[in-house]
Amino acid sequence: MSIKSGKGLSEKRRKTYLRMLRSIVFAAIIIIVVLIVLQLFGVNVSSMLAGVGIASIIIGFALQDAMKDVFRGLEIVSDNYYDIGDVIKFGDNFGQVLSINLRTTKIQDINSMNIVSIANRDIDKVEVSTGYIYLSVPLPLRLKPAAAELIMKDIVEHIQINPNVTTVENQGVTDITNSSLNYQLQITCEPMKQLSVRRACLDEIVATLAAKKILLPYNQIDIHNK
């Protein structure tokens, strides 16, 4: 996985803080302008603000979700949960963060290129991509361990040729089923290229196994007649 440089990270943080500050300043200006206009039209703003207690309770209930968005938006920035330019996953949407405002985070979906708006209160459902890909390679039980390791070595070498792949590591056997030994590959790449790299790696695994005439194992059911 590529490591963010200090310069790159500070640039992302700068953009995020500036965008959030712009939203806060804009909201403050709107409130001030509204109060000034009311004052110009003869509305006693001081009295209105003094009696805002009951009204604020009513408005507070009405704007609960909006306030949650605002507080979670500030939390996103203060806790460095993600920055503009990072790649995140929300539901079926996977894309790069374009902006973080007081109420919403906007991303551009990698597959559809659509702009998706996420309410900041849904931050708990957001996954930040780190560029790690884990793939399982099932090999037949009949293969000797030495032969299986040679096949995994070939797969790793073929995947490493991909210019978008940063690192590839065979992490060994992670599961044993009735029909296969499942090896696991850990692959790293740029988060924005994660989906395309995953597809390319799967294609490479299938092609390598086919070239070696290795059939992908499948579960078998033995039926015994009495």
Residue 203's domain is classified under what CATH number?
3.30.70.100
Q: Per-residue pLDDT tens for 49-101?
A: 555 554 554 555 445 667 777 778 778 877 788 888 889 999 989 999 998 88
91 lies in the same domain as 57 = yes
116 lies in the same domain as 171 = no
* Structural domain of 41: 6-128
194 vs 19, more confident? 194
In a domain, 95, yes or no: yes
121 lies in the same domain as 144 = no
| CB-based contact 124:72 (threshold 8 Å) | no
Q: Provide, rounded to the nearest whole percent, the portion of the chain with pLDDT above 90.
A: 36
pTM: 0.62
**Of 86, 109, 128, which residue sits at a domain end?**
128
In a domain, 154, yes or no: yes
107 lies in the same domain as 10 = yes
In a domain, 222, yes or no: no
137 lies in the same domain as 115 = no
| CB-based contact 67:60 (threshold 8 Å) | yes
**Of 104, 128, 152, which residue sits at a domain end?**
128
Q: Per-residue pLDDT tens for 160-200?
A: 999 999 999 999 999 988 888 999 999 999 998 998 999 99
Residue 73's domain is classified under what CATH number?
2.30.30.60
11 lies in the same domain as 67 = yes
